[in-house]
Amino acid sequence: MKPLNKYIDHTNLKPSATRADIEKLCAEARKYDFASVCINPCNVPLAKELLAGSDVKVCTVIGFPLGQNRTSLKVAETELAYADGCDEFDMVINTGRLKDGDTKYVKDEIEAVVAAAKGRTVKVIIETGLLTDEEKACATRIACEAGADFVKTCTGFTQGAATVDDIKLMKANLSGNAKLKASAGIRTREAALALIEAGAERLGTSAGCAIVEG
């Protein structure tokens, strides 16, 4: 197990996040040497500036939080964030298309974002709180086949939160080199460690400082 801090994507995706909030987030990320900060696309240039010289990566979200944008817009978001120097991209799938059984659409869209990321890390949010177990398994397999680096549980902006059972289910359906990110509702060190034990390689949380401090 790597140090707990290196599992954490230190997150502020609030629509009300100010420049001061992002400055605070990045200062905390530097202090605790987190894996990344996860922020909205408009804040990527600021975060890159604030984290220059550190090994904390800058992560942004694509098609967030609903995943209902056109594929071309998700690709454009990825390309713009890439040009801003973003290191990692957490994209939301189109949950409705998955529930329709249109797996080709879902896979093609992930592949398009992966291509736009040009080798940088892509994490695919399947929004577990809206899916049946069968759909969670299906979405995980599709994401792996489409070249995702991580499959991620939730946005935290709809129902549901990261659970040990979902991480175990998703892990059973991983293929290739894909890993798992647990996100939403992770508030304590105990919860974080349980999700890591179940198979999560990253944790998306706004409570990173409290988790590391125990």
Catalytic residues: 90, 152, 181
Confirm if 122 and 147 have CB atoms less than 8 A apart: yes
21-52 as b/e: b if 16+ CB within 10 A: ebeebbebbbebebbbbbbebebbebbbebbe
Cis (ω within 30 of 0) for the bond into 3?
no
Distance of CA 84 to the CA centre of its chain: 18
Select from 53, 26, 36, 50 the least CA-distant residue to 87: 36
Q: Report how far residue 196's alpha carbon sits from residue 4's, in angstroms, rounded to the nearest whole number.
A: 9
Confirm if 73 and 63 have CB atoms less than 8 A apart: yes
Among the residues of the chain, which ranges form H helices?
A: 19-32, 44-50, 71-83, 95-99, 103-117, 133-145, 164-172, 189-198, 208-213
Q: What is the DSSP letter of 176?
A: T
